[in-house]
A = this chain, B = another copy of it.
Amino acid sequence: MGKQVTEMLKGTLEGIVLAILSGRPAYGYEITAWLRDQGFSDIAEGTIYALLVRIEQRGFVDVEKVPSEKGPPRKVFSLNAQGREHLDEFWRTWSFLTERLEQLREGGK
């Protein structure tokens, strides 16, 4: 996809990753692969790792290092209480935005 998604992802990608982690713990490589699978065809690897570092520093996730059979050890992230709260707020903000845009889409017809 093009540049439009890129700009739209700013601010939502973090929520997306938190939402994924709210379902189950996961590590960077896994998340990237899953997103690519879901149609986010050109998510860059580095992007996810940088984002994970960020949310770790903000205290939204707990980290555990788990050895892998193939390749270097995985850093498995899981959402903690603070992260869950942040995710809730993300959904509230997201709902606000979608409502406004839905209205605009209706009106524009």
Binding site for B on A (CB under 8 A): 1-2, 4-12, 14-16, 19-20, 22-23, 38-40, 89-91, 93-94, 96-98, 100-101, 104-105, 107-108
Task: Check B100 against A39 for contact (C-beta < 8 Å).
Answer: yes
Cross-chain contact of A16 among B6, B7, B101 (Cβ < 8 A): B101
What's the Cα separation between A1 and B1 when bound, in Å?
30
DSSP class of A's interface residues: helix, strand, loop or mixed? helix
Task: Check B12 against A8 for contact (C-beta < 8 Å).
Answer: yes
Copies per complex? 2
Task: Check B100 against A23 for contact (C-beta < 8 Å).
Answer: no
The residue of chain B having its C-beta at the shortest distance from the C-beta of A35 within the complex is B100
How far apart are A11's CB and chain B's nearest CB, in angstroms?
A: 3
Q: Which residues of B contact A108 (CB under 8 A)?
A: 19, 22-23
What's the Cα separation between A23 and B97 when bound, in Å?
19
